[in-house]
Amino acid sequence: MHFTRLQQRRGDASRAAMSVDTQTVLRIASLARIAMSEEEAERLKPELNNILGWVEQLGEVDTSGVEPLAAVIANHTRMRDDVVTDGDKRDDILANAPVAEHGFFAVPKVIE
């Protein structure tokens, strides 16, 4: 396998990395609204830690005084005119709905 060198670099970084525990994995899954059992979280944990450890090598880069990239290619915001050009297509909007009733999307009842 020819990735040994790159993998070694990854290994170094992951050793330094703060690692994510099962509870954190579950919290992230809940934030992302992905149902997850403790066993699944347990299985995912080392994978996530590997990836996070690997990306943490970015910490080596001195970015002081560097602005985050704002636009990939220099380009300006174009502003739309304030005119009604769309809407009035309820059938299209609801066509793929798992449950639609009386012109509404329907979801399990929400108690506020």
Partner 1 sequence: MVSNYRIQGATGEWEVVIGLEVHAQITSHSKLFSGASTEFGQEPNCNVSLVDAAMPGMLPVVNGECLRQAVRTGLALNAQINRWSRFDRKNYFYADLPQGYQISQLFHPIVGEGEIEVSLDEKDPEGTVKTIGIERIHVEQDAGKLMHDQHPTMSYVDLNRCGVALMEIVSRPDMASPAEAGAYVRKLRSILRYVGSCDGNMEQGSMRADVNVSVRKPGDELGTRTETKNVNSIRFIQQVVETEARRQVDLIEDGGTVVQETRLFDPDKGETRSMRSKEDAHDYRYFPDPDLLPIELSEEFVAEAKASLPELPDAKRHRYENELGLSAYNAAVLTAEAETARWFEGLAAESAKKQGKPEADVAKAAANWLISDLFGGLNKLGVDLDSSPISAAQGAELLALVADGTLSGPLAKQVFEIMLETGDDPEKIVEEKGLKQTSDTGAIEAVIADILAANSDKVEEYRGGKDKLFGFFVGQTMKAMQGKANPKVVNELLRKALG
Partner 2 sequence: MTDITDLGVAEIRDGFRGGAFSAREVAEAFNDAVAGSDALNCFIVKTPEKALEAADEADRALAAGEAKPLSGVPLGIKDLFCTKGVQSTAASHILEGFVPPYESTVSGNLLEAGAGMLGKLNMDQFAMGSSNETSYFGNVVSPWRRNDGGNTPMSPGGSSGGTSSAIAAHIVPAATGTDTGGSIRQPAAFTGICGMKPTYGRCSRYGMVAFASSLDQAGPMARSVKDCAILLEAMAGYDAKDSTSLNEPVPHWEAGLSGDLKGKKIGIPKEYRVDDMPEEIDALWKQGVEWMRDAGAEIVDVSLPHTKYALPAYYIIAPAEASANLARYDGVRYGLRETPDGANLQEMYAATRAAGFGDEVKRRIMIGTYVLSAGFYDAYFTQATKVRTLIARDFDQAWDSCDYLLTPTAPSAAFGLGDLSDDPIAMYLNDVFTVPSSLAGLPAIAVPGGLSKQGLPLGLQIIGKALDEQGVMNAGLAMEDRAGFTARAEKWW
Task: Using CB under 8 A, list all residues that contact partner 1.
Answer: 27, 30-31, 33, 68, 70-71, 75-90, 92-94, 99, 101-112
- DSSP, collapsed to helix, strand or coil, labels residue 45 as helix
Count the residues of the shown chain that bind partner 2, applying the rule CB under 8 A.
61
Cα angle, residue 39 at apex, residues 35 and 40 outer, rounded to 5° = 50
Distance CA 27, CA 45 (A): 12
Give me Rg for the CA atoms of the chain.
23
Q: Is 50 in the site for partner 2 (CB under 8 A)?
A: yes
Q: Is 3 in the site for partner 2 (CB under 8 A)?
A: yes
CB 75 within 8 A of CB 81: no
Task: List residues binding partner 2 (CB under 8 A).
Answer: 1-7, 9-10, 20, 24-25, 28-36, 44, 47-48, 50-52, 54-61, 63, 66-69, 71-73, 75, 77-78, 80, 89, 92-93, 95-99, 105, 107-111
